[in-house]
Amino acid sequence: MGLVICPTHGEKIIMFVCPHVSIAVVFHTPCHNIEWCAYSAANDPELSDISLGCWFCRCCITEHNLPPHGSVIPDPEEFLGMQSRLYQPMCPDCFKEWQDCGLGDITSA
Ligand SMILES: [Zn+2]
Ligand SMILES: [Zn+2]
């Protein structure tokens, strides 16, 4: 786990969001129906603890055919290679404040 240095909150444990959520948080604009998707790499014992978690907007999930939350990624390196530009680092406190303002509603299934 890396750290992100936020100008407002200082050093924080990094979290990931898609580029659209990232822009929405920075500019304090709404981005609704976001979804938390975490993937695991259970097939590889060395990587089994790694969970690739990210908040995605509806567009990213549809456009990139992202697997549903909880999916096992057979080849995490290839997956991250293909999807890495979707994983934007984010300060968890900024994200929380943005959500607290009602700007990032979560999809309710
Ligand atoms: Zn997106
Ligand atoms: Zn912050």
Per-10-residue mean pLDDT, the chain, length 109? 91 96 98 93 63 92 93 84 92 98 86
Q: Where are the domains of the chain?
A: 33-109
Ligand nearest to the Cα of 32, by number: 1
pLDDT at position 49 is: 59
> What's the CA gap between 22 and 39, in Å, rounded?
20
pLDDT at position 98 is: 98
∠ at Cα 68 (66, 71), nearest 5°? Answer: 100
Q: Are 36 and 55 in contact (CB under 8 A)?
A: yes
**Residue 44 CA, ligand 2 centroid: distance in Å:** 33
Q: Looking at the whole model, is its pTM more than 0.75?
A: yes
pLDDT at position 52 is: 81
**54-71 burial: b if 16+ Cβ within 10 Å, else e:** bbbbeebbeeeebeeeee
**Residue 105 CA, ligand 1 centroid: distance in Å:** 14
Burial class of residue 90 (count of CB atoms within 10 Å of its CB; 0-12, 13-18, 19+): buried
